Structure 1
């Protein structure tokens, strides 16, 4: 039993190539800045890590309760057309991300989508890719849709409605394009249901416990006591279902921790420090391209944190870093969460096939729309 538990916990770390690349990059960067090694702990945004870990536990708890299986069966009985089901889930992901943030929306939609794989012939891998794109498109609309917008909204001094008005053109065009591509990518035919699949056991007590722990955890996060909320969630699952703790994506937590360290090491490079001093003197298109480009290298939230010190927190920067969430998977941490939750290796190639197209589209359209909102 101990051997099986050890294998479940540690084997994923040995197989995680993305994590290995990040760790290797960190080692290389540390060679050039050995004095920074003592600061690694301070480089990490621990509130983000605590929040992510809590949500991973709670989502896995709901999944193991069997509730997603119940909802999935009701959904395919109501929407048994592949195209309309795909459009519904993509739209739901986008709408949820406008007021729940993009990562929280994924924690709701992706596990439900994965459940549909057991029940139907739905191409789940492609659908999760579209859901990841949808939360990027939907979350850019509001000040609370993603972390970079929260920062830009606070720095800009704009009202809530003014910020939404500023972002509406890009959000509408990008979302319209995504729905069109979704319509084309998913054929209009009835879903083939896998009748042979036995229905999962539904544990109502576990589901209710997850809901209670979720409300407690979110309240703790909002009040600034996220770590106490995490302890409550951890103790709750130790008592109710230890399988939840064994089956969450622990390497994903280490991936995020390593990314925080790597980004700070990259920004701390001497050559880059010299380049940062010249950012303010760049023309508008230079700031725009820099927002797009840095998002591809260090993710759009760190790019925003960096650039807001040199560039006004205006529509130009907001459009650049939000469009920069497309493209490489690292462009937005929500992308990484969605792809990791899918558990499919081939999804990484499929994601970039569509995501680079949306990076080019939203980047060009965003630049064209800027004069209308500036």
Structure 2
């Protein structure tokens, strides 16, 4: 029963999952709901879209070609500042395509290797990577879970949503790049990050890369569940190791988020809170950015979608909400947890809180 032991271990280690599970009976007691109506609270198009994108992203990561590109890119750097700028641009672009979390999983090991080889301030570089993937992922509907949810809810096309997000996402990335000029010096060095090409799989990379636009097209035509099933079957038949590498409990977390926050949204006290947030100046934008600082930007998007149809303001607000406190975005927590750098939590907020303040003002100016 090793699988059951691993599952139980993960349940006890995953604080968010455990909290959502324990909260569900209380919410059902406060807001009695029929089983069918509970299931209906889950946005199945978003969940299946997330499953398909997780499979495709994992396959791209497993192919080794993204790490190969990063290893090729880094020898082009001749200074600490140039290294930071190139890594941040690559991280932002990668996040817009394969989600912010996957971008971090690919780049964090490379960044830690850079630190060991050069003695650079790797902790600060990791902080800026987290900021960059949050900015870059805000550009496209598939860059992060909250965009995926709001894209599906809004009914916009892929390009309509991307054009809506572009002014904010590109401005945030520019802000972070300018700040990196202050954070990193002009110290000269040369670096070559080793990469074992023997394990790279060109066929897996090619087919998975081709699958991305096809999957997005299926989402455009409301065929997401069928497309996700097709992707799952394809990897089951031809590359089962991709399936075993997926964090399937993350899908359970999102289903529970939909259910718990859907039930919360029906409570009178929470409706009053939402009304107060919406009453703030530029309420959908400001309220979602501030709420993200308390409960993270994905739950904030799930909760507030029940109270506004201003998709631009809500999408911009939860994107900005990914900065500031570490809890604002799951990507922040991943970066801080995997880096294992002493004192990084304190330094993270030294940089991220000013970025949140600047981003909030940028959003107001661009609105």
**TM-score if structure 1 supplies the norm length?**
0.73
CA distance in 1, matches of 2:122, 2:250: 21
Equivalent of 2:29 in 27, 31, 42: 31
2:127 is aligned with 1:110:
no
Pair 1:74 & 2:72 matched: yes
Deviation for aligned residue 1:18 = 2.3
Residue equivalent to 1:190: 189
Counterpart secondary structure, 2:338:
coil
Structure 1 residue 264, shift from structure 2 partner: 1.0
What is the CA-CA distance between 1:149 and the residue it aligns to? 7.5
Structural mapping, 1:281-292, within 5 Å: 282=279, 284=281, 289-292=286-289
* CA distance, structure 1, for counterparts of residue 259 and residue 338 of structure 2: 27
Query: 1:246 is matched with which residue: 225, 244, 247?
Result: 244
RMSD: 4.2
Distance 2:284 2:58 in 1: 41
Residue number among 304, 314, 330 corresponding to 1:336 in the alignment: 330
How many pairs are equivalent? 350
Instruction: Say yes or no: does 1:361 pair with 2:358.
Output: yes
CA separation of 1:338 and 1:238: change in aligned 2, threshold 3 A: farther
Aligned counterpart in structure 1 of residue 233 of structure 2, from 235, 246, 257? 235
Paired residue secondary structure (1:120):
helix
CA distance in 1, matches of 2:280, 2:63: 54
Of stretches 266-275 and 288-297 in structure 1, the one that deviates more from structure 2 is 288-297
What residue number does 1:46 align with? 44
Within 2, Cα distance between the matches of 1:290 and 1:118? 36
CA contact under 8 A between 2:324 and 2:349: conserved in structure 1? yes
- 2:114 equivalent among 114, 117, 120: 120
Q: State how 1:152-231 maps to structure 2 within 5 Å.
A: 168=167, 174-187=172-185, 188-190=187-189, 193=192, 201-231=199-229
Call closer, same or farther: CA 1:277–1:365 in 2, change over 3 Å.
closer
Q: Aligned pair in 2 of structure 1 residues 147, 329: CA closer, same or farther (>3 Å)? A: farther
The whole-number CA distance in structure 2 between the counterparts of 1:43 and 1:232 is 25
1:301 matched to which residue of 2? 301
1:57/1:244 contact within 8 Å kept: yes
Q: Describe the superposition over 1:246-287 as per-residue Cα deviations: whole angstroms up to 9, x where unpaired.
A: 12122222221221122112211122335656777x463666
Match of 2:305, SS state, is helix
- 1: distance between equivalents of 2:142 and 2:172? 18
Partners of 1:328 and 1:352 within 8 A in 2: yes
User: Aligned equivalents of 2:148 and 2:362: distance in 1?
Assistant: 22
1:59-112 CA deviation, whole Å, 9 max, x = no partner?
Answer: 222222222332222112223644323212323444567xx57xx452663344
- Is 1:21 matched up with 2:19? yes
The offset of 1:52, in angstroms, is 1.3
Q: Could you list the runs of 5+ residues in structure 2 that have no partner in the other structure?
A: none
Structure-2 change in CA distance of 1:192 and 1:227 (3 Å): same
Verify the 8 A CA contact 1:69 1:115 in the aligned structure 2.
no
Instruction: Note closer, same or farther for the CA distance 1:200–1:184 as it changes in structure 2 (3 Å cut).
Output: farther
Structure 2: distance between partners of 1:236 and 1:142? 25
